[in-house]
Chain A
Amino acid sequence: MYQYDQYDQAMVDARVAEFRDQVERRLAGDITEDQFKPLRLKNGLYLQLHAYMLRVAIPYGTLSSRQMRMLGDIADKYDRGYGHFTTRQNIQYNWIKLQEAPDLLADLASVEMHAIQTSGNCIRNTTADQFAGAAADELVDPRPYAELLRQWSTFHPEFDYLPRKFKIAIIGSETDRAAMKLHDIGIQLVKNDAGEIGCRFYVGGGMGRTPMIAPVIGDFVPPLQMISYLEACLRVYNRHGRRDNKYKARIKILVHEIGADEYRRQVEEEFAHILTLGLEPPPAELERIKGFFADPAFDPAAPDELDLSDPDFALWVDQNIHAHKKPGYAIVNISLKPVGGIPGDATSDQIRLMADLAKDYSFDELRVTHAQNIVLPHVRKADLYTIWQKLEEAGLANANLDLIGDIIACPGLDYCSLANARSIPVAQKISERFGDLGRQRELGELKLKISGCINACGHHHAGHIGILGVDRKGVENYQLLLGGCEGADTSLGQITGPGFNEDGIVDAVEKVTEVYLAQRAPGERFVDTFRRIGMTPFKEAIYAKETANG
């Protein structure tokens, strides 16, 4: 893992001291809320429905056990004993007191963490493949490049006041586990026929009010020009992005309005200019960073066999374990989606347990996934049973990864001041309706994603089944979308028709799954069947009952 150098630490410490002074001045009445609000948002501190909410940045979703333990301790010391892992691989605390926020940030800084640029119209925390450096199908480890992005984007003065927030994802595998094409910029590290590494730039994707899949703008940018190309992409956006209309201010609108070809032309022109300026970090810096991401000391004699005689353990292994690049090792996915639970929430004790497991069994490392789960990236297969037993005791051995119970849900109207409807109760009811694991496995891979408003923090556009909560004259109403998907075959969900109330949407989801089970061809996922048979059979099933009931 990357470790702060003196500059990183000095910058974060200085920011804590600066914010402490700002908070003191606010509490003393020396500055108004209008003056203070942008300052606290610069430090990830929002005012939500019930209290201040702090969003902590977890760079490319990677944590050490020491950092994870601190996140658990913060939940106890400053919050109410739990945290919420988000779809941007971050963690949020819902009950923060302003007067305690500087001390919290100081505690974070003591483990090389912060909440900078987790809000505002700047470059947000870069996300990445949660299996980076561990996956068997990886071509290039994206973490050094993600760290370079972190350093480049942190406090970048030119991009501190963009037309709108800006989100970047980076992957190094054929399999896209980071919803890359639905970001402002997605970077895929690829290799050409000569074995050289290049960066493929997807620019102008996004969800929210106007979902769009990013087109390829740069097909094979040399890695040592990645930052210059990013500068070019951002400069064109900063120059022409719509600042007059918040709803048209994301880069996806710009790319769409002027067209990918024209946007690419402008980027290439700017890129050629930037290359003459020598803005690119020296190659030695990338090599220095790569040094932090060398493989841990894997045991070449680690046994590859696994005793699966315990059926519950065997189920968990089958569902939640991913292939590792080294024989004798596995990637463990810890699902934070118990039946009827709150997606992404973990108690302080659970957080500390996961930290301990990482320390004892995963070379001190954890990852947060955009699906609101936790990963132990480097686990000896011989240790899996012990880990599973410990997770089971803590209520964390939910064997439902990528099944319908593995629901993504934003905090919704239970916490979020932007939300129009509650997300979590819907997730809980669906989770309970499909609580039987055998039923979930019969349905196979089925990604269900719920957002409580059009901002789409719950990624409903990318759900095989998506749910969007809306406000209909003060009453919660839920629209159903089908056919969304992230990854190599990214697609956007289509709305089925009229919305439902809270119980109605659960029934509708069940009917949709029944159509799938009746119609699927061998080997088809839900989304494959939807693509083959189209919307009509699903609509007929969903709305038939309503018609019958008049």
Chain B
Amino acid sequence: MLNFADANIDFMGRRRLALALSAILILGSIFLLATRGLNFGIDFTGGTVIEVGYPEPVALEHVREKLEDGGYGRAIVQYFGTSQDVLIRLAPREGEDTAELSNEVFRVLQAGAETEVDLRRVEFVGPQVGEELREQGGLAMLYAMFGILVYVALRFEWRFSVGSVLALAHDVVITLGIFSLLQAEFDLSVLAAILAVIGYSLNDTIVVYDRIRENFRKMRKENAESVMNKAVNQMLSRTIITSGTTLLVLLTLYFLGGAVINNFALALIIGVLVGTYSSIYVAAALALATGVDRTVMLPVKKEGEDTQAVGEERP
């Protein structure tokens, strides 16, 4: 069985290597985001998505031909989940009654069909709504980070606060980078997932920082690096088990939750993996880099007084 009880891995010793790796990943992500960008869904771009279901597998060519005949040659047609479900995307175009569009397209598909076509889903987002959603999403991300920054600064210390938000930004940027690499669709639900990743990754970081704070009080003779290394090792089993159980449910969601929820689950899976890596290798290293040491953690106090630190409950 898994046992990390006596883990004593020199994570901090390898922090330069880890930070270098993270730097490469972040730069790579930024490069991808700048060049390829995200594959934004209609939530953010505006447009129409129509999902139709066929009683038996259908050839995409057949669907495309029908749409072309109906004057919708510009539609993007793809399978959604199974070969019986087809997703049709239409970008917004001027002079077209967008609200009527979905009905028209469905009529075209139904006309002369040998089998019955089932209209499963229609999503239409007007261009101005897409713009607003994009703006709100960006704002939400910034506000969440700011709120967390303030909370951590109050509960711990500003250096930790900076460290945790940097770790967060690290996780978010890399997750977005991977989404850009895969060109997986980025819609509202993925945005929600990214915000959940913020919460989750922070959870991880805070747990490690909490232990670092505790260790500084206990391990009076060791230097900052080994105090932090000890904390990461002590939390290693917890980090891995929690990530493991979370991944377990996310994987069931990914495989069984249906195509609608796929990208949402994917974003969370990537986020949890990156978050786990960062809470082991990056969070503590960042704390060290921002200059966290004993003098910061335990400002001039006499022996035995340190248990009064913020909110600590006596056993």
A and B: partners? no
- Report which A residues bind B (CB closer than 8 A): none
